[in-house]
């Protein structure tokens, strides 16, 4: 009777360890490859406004000179201003940012496929 309990406990523990290893194993990550997104580029030879125009409709993070960051989708770029919509973490909010106050932009260039 005692050996039967030990065998059952060992089987359950073995199954639990196997299950835990299979969940933590990066099998899916090994099958996926990092690929470059098409049409995404930054050009250091043109002004910030022209770079921002190429990201209309895309998700960007804008770093403002004050240190604040705003992440959202570029809706439009106009006369010294950028309209960012669907701001992350702030449902129903948009922002209008002066381009001269932008110190940097961050854009996703690669994805897992």
Same domain, 27 and 47: no
Query: 4: which 2 tokens?
Result: 């039967």
Residues 84-107 have pLDDT tens digits of 999 999 889 999 999 999 999 998
DSSP annotation of 23 reads: H
- Is residue 88 domain-shared with residue 39, that is, in the same domain? yes
User: Same domain for 56 and 81?
Assistant: yes
Q: Are residues 23 and 73 in the same domain?
A: no
If you average pLDDT over every residue of the chain, what do you get?
Answer: 83
Domain containing 44: what range?
35-112
Which residues of the chain form beta strands (DSSP E)?
A: 34-36, 59-64, 69-77, 81-85, 95-98, 102-107, 110-112
Per-residue pLDDT averaged across 17-26, rounded? Answer: 67
pLDDT of 14 higher than 90: no
**Mean pLDDT within 70-80:** 94
The count of structural domains within the chain is: 2
């Amino acid at each position: 009777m005692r050996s039967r309990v030990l065998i059952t406990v060992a089987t359950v523990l073995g199954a639990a360890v196997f299950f835990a290893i299979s969940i933590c194993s990066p099998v899916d990550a090994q099958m996926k490859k990092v690929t470059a997104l098409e049409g995404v580029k930054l050009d250091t030879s043109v002004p910030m406004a022209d770079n921002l125009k190429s990201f209309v409709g895309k998700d960007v993070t804008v770093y403002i000179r004050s240190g604040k960051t705003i992440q959202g989708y570029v809706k439009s770029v106009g006369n010294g201003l950028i309209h960012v919509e669907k701001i992350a973490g702030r449902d129903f909010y948009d922002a209008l940012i002066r381009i001269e106050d932008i110190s940097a932009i961050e854009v996703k260039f690669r994805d897992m496929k």
